[in-house]
Chains A and B, each alone.
Chain A
Amino acid sequence: MRPILMKGHERPLTFLKYNREGDLLFSCAKDSTPTVWFADNGERLGTYKGHNGAVWCCDISRDSTLLITGCADQTAKLWDVQTGTQLYSFNFDSPVRAVDFSVGDKFAVITTDPFMEHSSSIQVKTIAEDVSEQTSESVLTIRGPQGRINRAVWGPLNQTIISAGEDAVIRIWDSETGKVLKESDKEIGHAKPITSLSKSADGSHFITGSSDKSARLWDIRTLTLLKTYVTERPVNACAISPLLDHVVIGGGQEATHVTMTSHRAGKFEAKFFHKILQEEIGGVKGHFGPINALAFNPDGRSFSSGGEDGYVRLHHFDPDYFSIKM
């Protein structure tokens, strides 16, 4: 089907997230206004105004009532999804890069960038049921890894936190004590900064994308490398299909080089790979800048991509897609 072009952002997209039911799509961009769309027809439902900087990441609670956003204005904010009112603002000393709700939505993990004299950190906040009781205290603060932490997510049963970032190492932390439980092997892991990390629908494995032009699939408990997908471009975004054994990988040459070559040379396609066979299935063209964000609808029948070009493209799969034989 023809993709639906959603032009609502004025700056490059940074992140896309569907709610659990798959009827809403939340998009973050560098233009400081996270936007919510109808995931079916791409109609804009509303925006969340209040940030003052690039919004890097967001997450939505299981019941689709609460939205958390992380922003370069050194805050992470909680929003009422329905009304768009800002409920609470966590203030930090440096830009916020990643946010993620725990199972049960009682906690949120937030990472902050290294900035001035502050090193990067991973912080866990409790999310109060009643907003009026919300505090900004951190339950846990982890400092340690060098460089930016581009993504941090909760592991099974909220027992662990998985982080990945500029130092190309994936770490599993104990969410109680803040100790490193596992680290990815330098030999088999990524060679260059990890740009994205995305969990499977059941949370059993996750995929990481890296500037080393590959994406890798890992077991979330043991951190064993399951699969490697090699592409010809730096990977900025990746996602796992909840329905079929497919993964989608997007990226392209660095944004700073984009204007120097034709858009075909930049490899701005979203590439589909067979998750198990690691073979390329096909590609979806359209963006004229690198792809920065990818997300599958939880029903696996559509996906959306967000590019450096400021567009979100919403693709509903054709019936042929579901009958691809490998």
Chain B
Amino acid sequence: MAAVMAMPDVEAAAQRLGINLSSVDLDDIRLPPGDDFGIPSDDDEDLLAREELEFESGFGNVVVVDNLPVVPPEKFEKLENVVRKIYSQIGVIKEDGFWMPTNPETKKTLGYCFIEYNTPQEAELAREKTNGYKLDKSHIFAVNLFDDFDKFMKVPDQWTPAEIKPYVPVENLHKWLTDEKGRDQYVICAGQETEVLWNDARQLKPELVYRRSQWTESFVQWSPLGTYLATMHRQGVAIWGGGSTFNRIMRYAHALVRLIDFSPGERYLVTYSSHEPNGPRDTHRVVLNIFDTRTGKVMRDFKGNADEFMTGTAGGVSGVSWPVFRWGGGKDDKYFARIGKNVISVYETETFSLVDKKSMKVENVVDFCWSPADPILALFVPELGGGNQPARVSLVQIPGKEELRQKNLFSVSDCKMYWQSNGEYLAVKVDRYTKTKKSTYTGFELFRIKERDIPIEVLELENKNDKIVAFAWEPKGHRFAVIHGDNPRPDISFYSMRTTHNSGRVSKLTTLKGKQANALYWSPAGRFVILAGLKGFNGQLEFYNVDELETMATAEHFMATDIEWDPTGRYVATSVTSVHEMENGFNIWSFNGKLLYRIPRDHFRQFLWRPRPPSLLSAEKEEEISKNLKKYSKKYEAEDQDVSLLLSEQDREKRKMLKDEWERWVKEWKRLYDEEKAERRRLRDGEASDEEEEYEAKEVEVEEILDSVEEVVP
């Protein structure tokens, strides 16, 4: 606080001005907004921003309706009734909440009126719904919030050129990629603390990059290319990044934001908030904003009833399936789409409007997903009319909206679609009813997107009745793994979409019997997969090499809840988040299942590797490097050895130091102990032995005659 006046000073000042202090309620004094009386406030700017929101003149629930017809007094009542009818559809107009001023001379109305609602939400809704409402040809309503008028009045009449800000060089936001040791970063949230750390696998410990208490109010999230770290706040979202420390790069105001989603190329940020109804007449509203990440501008906002944002099959429970908007067309962030009732709305980011100005009509569509690489949509429509119209999966090209391929499916209960990360294959898991309709069995439809005419193959498991526990494509590869089986120890099968002697057909590589696993985690580089038994299996981990079809290691992270590969596929983090009370913390493993280090942290909430942008090397170049791997690896192996030598040396020294320190302490103690020897003996009544060990165990036989009777034998 800058200048705080002491109470005596205040009293003196009051007397000078002739104010009776006792009659003044100090809490009731409101300073005019914007005037600080020369007392600079040191409040955080965030606080100020929040204050601003609360500054309302008390007319927050008043709307002004302009462009009404000008009517004489005899028609006043009629017009009032018309306007009231329109506006009471939106919310309850307050008693005396309608005022249409008249010209005192002509007694005619002035062509505008004021309407007061009970809540600002209703007013806002009224503005949204009726602005531009056509009463008739010449009277198109212009509706504004009363509070906004001040703002509009302040707009200067004269256009002034925008001030051009001098160029400020920005920090290298990709500095972390230039780490000499090629390490990766991760962020953790535990309790109130959020920390960004280097994974220093060589030193077998993390190295702190940046720590901040109460950085976020709920969670943190990396942007998909790792450039920014987003934090959540009551007022909105902030993103952080930079060279050495994390500086705030941009803020996106969105009150009570709950969920966020970056576009894959991190150009746009979608924020979501949901506003529970306050009263019975209020509706459950949701607000979505799409920001340009770099400029912080709102590119488009969507507001509406929560029901409009529910997808067909979600079951209709409160909440939406996140992300509402799914981004398509690879890393170019060109399209985004959302599913509605019988429609899929595809927007393009050039104009932020619907492609072809209209949504795609698809009767009864329940699910869709984008190819990760191309602007292709896969969508699923369930069976209709009790089986008269079959269910179908179709692929649609955007922006043309033409159907590339369609497959009809019969007696289907449910479908799940899985894209391979390069968009080369699409697997559709189809649950079908058996003949009796009492149970279901599962099969796969495999689409080869990149081949001519997109051939479809049907794959059925050997045991058709096996339940599918998990399915996962090898990233960038042609293989996939399936966990199937009903018993507590399911089987895991690996399939390939192309094998050397059978290039056009899917073939099984192997089946592993009876594994304690319920989740699959492929390395982002492919080839390796972790077969994990989370939850019920208490964190069993099996590190499996799919090239060699062999288990590299089995391990356990007791109670593990989450597993995440680092973006390079070299390390794996397993963590126990605070869903349990005990064992919170994380372990870092090498790709082949060697435990490198473990960090226990109480109230552990989040572990996220910082993503890396895709490699700049061409595929040929990468091929070449992997061919000559031996040549490159020599250098690193030497480095590794140096580090491990250094580590063991340091460790040895530390131990020696600790031992020496202890020796010294014990010596000092012994000295004092000897000094007190005599005293101690006195306390023990002169018992000679001081040393605790000096006693002898003697076996003493004691014979006790309990009774002796002499009897004379006759």
Binding site for B on A (CB under 8 A): 20-21, 23, 62, 102-104, 106, 156-158, 201-202, 204-205, 219, 221, 226, 232-233, 242, 245, 253, 257, 261-262, 264-267, 276-278, 298, 326
Contact = CB atoms under 8 A, between A and B. Distances in A.
A72 to B, nearest CB: 29
A202 B692 contact: yes
A277 B655 CA distance: 7
Nearest to A266: B582
Contacts of A205: 669
A221 B672 contact: yes
Given A102-B683, A157-B683, A262-B538, 19 more contacts: A20-B695, A21-B695, A103-B684, A104-B683, A106-B683, A157-B676, A158-B683, A201-B692, A202-B669, A202-B692, A204-B666, A219-B665, A226-B665, A261-B582, A265-B580, A265-B583, A266-B582, A267-B582, A277-B655
Interface in B41-66: none
Contact of A253 (B582, B669, B680): B582
Interface string B694-710: 01010000000000000
Contacts of B559: 265
Given A156-B676, A204-B673, A253 B658 contact: no
A110 B237 CA distance: 59
Interface string B546-562: 00000000000011000
8 contacts: A156-B673, A204-B666, A233-B582, A242-B692, A253-B582, A262-B538, A265-B558, A276-B662
B136 interface: no
Contacts of B673: 156, 202, 204
A56 to B, nearest CB: 26
Interface residues of B, number: 26
Contacts of B679: 157
Contacts of B685: 104
B26 to A, nearest CB: 39
B683 A204 contact: no
B581 interface: yes
Contacts of A21: 695, 697
B555 to A, nearest CB: 15
B683 A103 contact: yes
A62 B673 CA distance: 19
A62 B691 CA distance: 12
Interface in B667-682: 669, 672-673, 676, 679-680
A135 B253 CA distance: 77
B72 interface: no
A221 B558 CA distance: 42
A262 B558 CA distance: 11
B677 to A, nearest CB: 10
B323 interface: no
A169 B665 CA distance: 23
A282 B673 CA distance: 32
A265 B683 contact: no
A157 B680 contact: yes
Contacts of A23: 697
A107 B684 CA distance: 12
B692 A20 contact: yes
Contact of B669 (A102, A204, A233): A204
A257 to B, nearest CB: 8
A264 B580 CA distance: 13
A129 to B, nearest CB: 9
A310 B659 CA distance: 39
Contacts of B658: 276-278
B659 A276 contact: yes
Nearest to A204: B669
A276 B666 CA distance: 11
Interface centre among B666, B672, B692 (most CB of A within 10 A): B692
A76 to B, nearest CB: 22
Contact of A104 (B558, B581, B662, B684): B684
B488 to A, nearest CB: 16
B600 interface: yes
A24 B685 CA distance: 24
A39 to B, nearest CB: 12
Nearest to A201: B692
Contacts of A266: 582
Contact of B558 (A156, A157, A264): A264
A318 to B, nearest CB: 23
A232 B558 contact: no
A244 to B, nearest CB: 13
B697 A253 contact: no
A158 B683 CA distance: 9
B61 to A, nearest CB: 50
A155 to B, nearest CB: 11
A20 B684 CA distance: 14
Contacts of A233: 582
A181 B600 CA distance: 37
Nearest to A242: B692
Interface string B399-411: 0000000000000
A226 B662 CA distance: 9
A202 B693 CA distance: 11
> Nearest 8 A-B pairs (CB), nearest first?
A104-B683, A204-B669, A276-B662, A104-B684, A103-B683, A265-B582, A276-B658, A157-B679
Contacts of B655: 277, 326
A103 B680 contact: yes
Nearest to B584: A232
A183 B697 CA distance: 41
B572 to A, nearest CB: 21
Interface string B154-197: 00000000000000000000000000000000000000000000
Interface in B300-331: none
B535 to A, nearest CB: 12
A257 B538 CA distance: 18
A100 to B, nearest CB: 15
Contacts of A257: 581
A265 to B, nearest CB: 5
